[in-house]
Amino acid sequence: MRLLLDTHTIVWVMNDNRQLSQAARSAIASPRNPVYASAASIWEVSTKFRLGKFADAALLVDNPRKVLDSLEIEVISISLEHANLAGAFGHPHKDPFDRMLAAQALLERLTLVSADKIFDEYAVTRLW
């Protein structure tokens, strides 16, 4: 199973947060499952950190490449196709970061690891 981590999931993995479900923790820890983060998640966490949110993401904001490499998480860039689908979704959810993650999960056939049930409305495969 190829996993795409939602932004909060990345931060929770980084901090070994108890909010991370056991199913998510096991899937992420399995060497059989490649784990990915979207460049959009780094954009989101940096933006929210600047606004005073995600205080527990300071290390990720300070050096995202180092943190993701240490967690063995590969980065997925935002492609033209990802951007097009994210913008075209008819779904009323307006969060551009969530829309991008949904588009990437669908187009790249990734399982989205997220506690956020809104993704179920995008017909993505979600693990939590």
Q: Give per-residue pLDDT as tens, 83-103.
A: 999 999 987 788 999 999 999
Please report the domains of the chain, with CATH numbers, ordered by start residue. 3-127 (3.40.50.1010)
The CA–CA distances, whole Å, from 73 to 35, 64, 97 equal: 5, 11, 18
Beta bridge partners of 126: 112
Q: Give per-residue pLDDT as tens, 44-91.
A: 999 999 999 989 999 999 999 999 999 999 999 999 999 999 999 987
* 59 CB burial (10 A radius; 0-12, 13-18, 19+): middle
| Beta-carbon contacts of residue 87 (< 8 Å; ≥ 6 apart) | 99
